[in-house]
Amino acid sequence: MEPARNTTLQLVEPHRHPVSRLPARRWADADDRLMIARTIAGLELISGKWKVDILFLLAGGVRRHAHVLDHLIVSKKVLTAALRELERDGLVERNVISERPRHVEYALTPLGRSMTAPLLALCEWVEEHEDAVAAARERHPRMGEMPRFSAGFEIRR
């Protein structure tokens, strides 16, 4: 019988994150499943089309609804829906200012502000690896990719 080898799975560069060296396992365990579920739940918080944009805009400070709207190419209805979802999830707070004229301001909650660090880390990762990702995409054919629109369209002028 051969002695058991200490095999490891290298997730990231060892000099950057020494705790990333995990023993190789054949099956995912409960901790792996929990990590996956939590990561998916975190991604779902910001998966809406305009949510990341809104979080970055609000990270700069309190904004009126109209000011956020000015920075995005989106309808009022879609922006309001995204803001309500972020408010529901505790990332954004809505304050109605009763001055004349009455207006609404939005700001990040402490929970929402804590989301900016992972977003900035993701941004830095993309900046560091975007060339490698683009090269990988070029090497592989677009198998099974469905066209975005089933019929041609024209932009009206």
* Structure confidence by residue, pLDDT tens digits, 62-109: 888 888 888 888 999 999 999 999 999 999 999 998 888 888 899 999
Domain interval for residue 83? 52-140
Q: What is the pLDDT of residue 30?
A: 83
Instruction: Kindly provide the b/e burial profile for residues 139-150, where b requires at least 16 CB atoms within 10 angstroms of the residue's own CB.
Output: eeeeeeeeeeee
Which CATH number do you get for residue 133?
Answer: 1.10.10.10
Q: What is the pLDDT of residue 146?
A: 58
Report, as an integer, the average pLDDT of 13-26: 54
Give a yes or no: residue 35 inside a domain. Answer: no
Residue 5 has pLDDT above 80, yes or no: no
Give a yes or no: residue 85 inside a domain. Answer: yes
Report, as an integer, the average pLDDT of 24-37: 80
Distance of CA 6 to the CA centre of its chain: 36
Number of domains in the chain: 1
Residue 141 has pLDDT above 60, yes or no: yes
Model-wide pTM > 0.85: no
Confidence category of residue 19, pLDDT binned at 50, 70, 90: very low
> Is the sign of the CA dihedral 51, 53, 59, 65 positive or negative?
negative
Q: What is the pLDDT of residue 121?
A: 94
Let me know if 154 is exposed, middle or buried by CB neighbors in 10 A (0-12, 13-18, 19+). exposed
What proportion of the chain, given as a percentage, has pLDDT over 70? Answer: 73
Give a yes or no: residue 58 inside a domain. Answer: yes
DSSP 8-state symbol, 40 = H
